[in-house]
Chain A
Amino acid sequence: MKIKFRLNGKMVTDEVVADTPLLEYLRSKGCYSVKRGCETSNCGLCTVLMDGKPVLSCTTLAVRADGKEILTLEGLQKEAEEFGGFLADQGADQCGFCNPGFIMNVIAMTKELEDPTEEEIKEYLAGNLCRCTGYQGHLRAIQAYLEAKQGGIL
């Protein structure tokens, strides 16, 4: 099937087999930040933004991208560095395998929620699993990041 969409700011026209998951298609286009941690929509590692909204690319067909704008971490390097620095300053990057999907959702959260509470942060990101950190370091990083943003440091 023919699809036409915007990938990280660039227009792409392509022919895809109908049953190709978006995750595999994106990796085949060099978007290696998109990771698979399960095959059952449980881990959140494959999160990408479709028209600004986080979707799980392992269970979204590539053809769904047709007419849409897709952003992966490759297209959000500045934002990734900005928040990623806070994560690194907690040592909460750890193995890093869940970082891209997690950071995609943090970016989406900061656009969607204004001044979120701890509970709202946890709820918003509940679908992003991490086995290394125990999540407490994530929370410290997010709170420090939001504070810096509010304080106009970023």
Chain B
Amino acid sequence: MKNQFVNKPVRKKDAMALVTGKPVYTDDIAPKDCLICKVLRSPIAHGIIEEINTAIAEKVPGVECILTYEDNPGGRFTMAGQTYPEPSPYDRLILDKRVRYVGDAVAIVAGDDEKAVDKALKLIKVKYREIPAILDFRTAKDNEILVHPEEDWKSLCPVGADNKRNLCASASDALGNVDEILADCDFVVEGVYHTKANQQAMMETFRTYSYMDTFGRLNVVSSTQVPFHVRRILSNALGIPKSQIRVVKPRIGGGFGAKQTVVTEVYPALVTMKTGKPAKIIYTREESQIASSPRHEMEVTVKVGANKDGKIRAISVYTLSNTGAFGEHGPTTVGLSGHKSIPLYSGLEAYRFSYDVVYSNVCSAGAYRGYGATQGIFAVESAVNELAAKLHMDPVKLREMNMVREGMIMPAYYGETANSCALDRCLSRAKEMIKWDEKYPCKDMGNGKVRSVGVAMAMQGSGISSCDVGSVTLKVNDDGFYSLMVGCTDMGTGCDTILAQMAADCLDCDLDKIVVSGVDTDVSPYDCGSYASSTTYVTGMAVVKTAEKLREKICENGAALLQVEKEEVEFDGNRVFVPGGPEISLKDIANQAMCNNTNALEVTEQHSSPVSPPPFMVGMVEIELDKITGQYEILDYVAVVDCGTVINPNLARVQTEGGLVQGIGMAMYEDVIYNEKGKNYSSSFMQYKIPTRLDMGTLRVEFESSYEPTGPFGAKSIGEIVINTPNPAIAHAVFNATGLWFKELPITPEKVWRGLHGKN
């Protein structure tokens, strides 16, 4: 096995189609005769539909059908794209009589064109009985108002859910007696950290089209990260067998977790099922902002206790998470807020992590890059920075004393051992890159402005241990080119390419000899989908296993054709040969396999991992803050990442830079704001600002690789961890500039100004 492509910055296989604007996305390839579907949305945050009159709307020329709760075909289900049985509760119907947030679906209108549908939407008359809404998630638990009082609400897994208490999940985990150890510590810092909902804001909004095929089956083409989960969820929602559904994923215009929730698929699917006609839905940006799957708002209470020499002895984390109107990803995101923040510190005598996840009357939350770790790491890393300030110790030195290192057991991370961990190297390299010792904590520029630095560490996982499944099919075609069939979903990240890089190295062939195809649930091998930072690590290992088996088969066929024993031959990528003896080319083996052959040159293998090795990283930021206005900007952001072996340095670097900038947006200004009636004010890119290229300063990314023994070629994950350092690092830099700790995101100039001028 030669190492020709792994660790090389090769172009993505689909790059030229993307840069030349080829029609490869859902809306580009949708049939032109699709019915246009739109959703009528609730103007109130909580209520019961008492009457819904569609008679006038149905008379609009071009309107095909109007569907209401009376047309709901199946039982309660979850839109969360997770492995069955889903931890997320079965709490929603496609169309329900009860509306639970401003924007909740009330009716579906389908028609020949947008104008007819828009007109009909305005003519539907709905009478609501309003119910008081829960808009502050701190009041949700055990509130007398219930978001899900219904008897058919169902939780499939033991996650501590109770709909009669507005609880979507609740649990705790501990080691030792935290309260006792904290009481014995010389220093304890305690803080309550509030992170808000954030939008993934991928450039392609949610969208799906559907049609009936030759065999009378429902075909769904969707911009999704989870095609196989979509099939199951549609079956639950529509009440039809899974065998009647096929899901296809074309190119996706970004996901970041948003499309791990089945946001739009049910609507055209129901219309196609009812009418037999092709149908599509394209969410507006407004819909993507108000009726989607944003990050869970969390309030994280942290206590960190240490001796005066800086030894951290105990950490306690309590997280209150707001899942909104429905429970998608509620029980699972919250876990990461503790399990991926506390283990950054080793040798704790005690820790405690407990949480409640509550329903409220705002848009349902979902999966967003970082998935709870982002929120927890903001809290814990901020608390550790505050501890350093209290101890009058350099926060880098405090981390050097306490951070997890290779070979250590991480009790708060399911007892896993850090078999690959270069966090110490990441920290020392980042420190060099930003010139920490010269710049910490700040420098007064003499013009009212201060330059300061901040630091944070982060970890994530690589797939969900003992759960996520990746499968790969490899087959040899005419002349010896290979088909690599995958069920994981390239959403722009380049996984189709990096899996091909691995396959090419395993098979000793050129990258061009590997044709990648995915995803079609009728033909692709099963994969849970691309989320939880699983694809490189889990599906990548499936590639390695599959290629090994395929090599054996190639050798078997080659040996038979050479009329020698299989044990005698070797395969070098081009030919099967007996050393010093006869040989046959792969081309001949491939072509002869199409005549009088019974040993198919095709292999499918599956992989799942009992562990989820964390990637690690360190982020350091330098900002310049204007003490008169509170305005501040990023000058420099350095990030050093340990993702194990880097499979494609370009793609890993761009993942990192992209994640950093999303994190910078979250730290500085991205905010989902509701008014007192539960209306989302952040409903467009005018109100919800994401960073432009003028806002990110200079990003500098390097890798300090460890070697993960359970990963393909030593690789771990990269996709999610990269969003986790900006929040605490920027909060730290703002403290170093102003002496003020900001514990609620985003840290806007207005908040800084108010803090500096005593206006809080």
Contacts and interface: CB of A to CB of B under 8 A. Distances in A.
Contact of A136 (B203, B284, B698): B698
A54 interface: no
B684 A40 contact: yes
A87 B17 CA distance: 12
Interface string B462-499: 00000000000000000000000000000111100000
Which secondary structure dominates chain B's binding surface?
Answer: loop
Given A84-B15, A126-B692, A94 B658 contact: yes
A136 B699 contact: yes
A91 B660 contact: no
B252 interface: yes
B191 interface: no
A38 B203 CA distance: 8
B654 A40 contact: no
A135 B686 contact: no
Given A88-B19, A96-B251, A136 B657 contact: yes
Interface string B521-536: 0000000000000000
Contact of B203 (A77, A93, A98): A98
Contacts, number: 180
Contacts of A129: 203, 685, 690, 692
A81 B21 CA distance: 10
A45 interface: yes
A74 B654 CA distance: 27
B491 to A, nearest CB: 6
A134 B659 contact: yes
A131 B252 CA distance: 13
Contacts of A135: 657, 661, 691-693, 696
Contacts of B284: 39
Contact of B696 (A87, A88, A136): A136
B659 to A, nearest CB: 7
B254 interface: yes
A95 B657 contact: no
B657 A131 contact: no
Contacts of A103: 19, 21
B253 A97 contact: yes
Contact of A123 (B203, B657, B694): B694
Contact of B18 (A77, A89, A93, A122): A93
Interface in A72-92: 72-74, 77, 80-81, 83-85, 87-92
Nearest to B256: A131
A93 B19 CA distance: 7
Contact of B15 (A33, A88, A138): A88
A108 interface: no
Given A40-B686, A134-B660, 6 more contacts: A39-B286, A96-B14, A127-B692, A131-B203, A134-B654, A137-B653
29 contacts: A32-B28, A40-B285, A84-B18, A89-B11, A89-B650, A90-B650, A91-B9, A91-B11, A91-B650, A93-B15, A93-B18, A94-B493, A96-B492, A97-B202, A98-B203, A98-B253, A103-B19, A125-B693, A129-B690, A131-B662, A132-B254, A132-B654, A133-B657, A134-B654, A134-B658, A134-B661, A134-B662, A134-B691, A137-B653
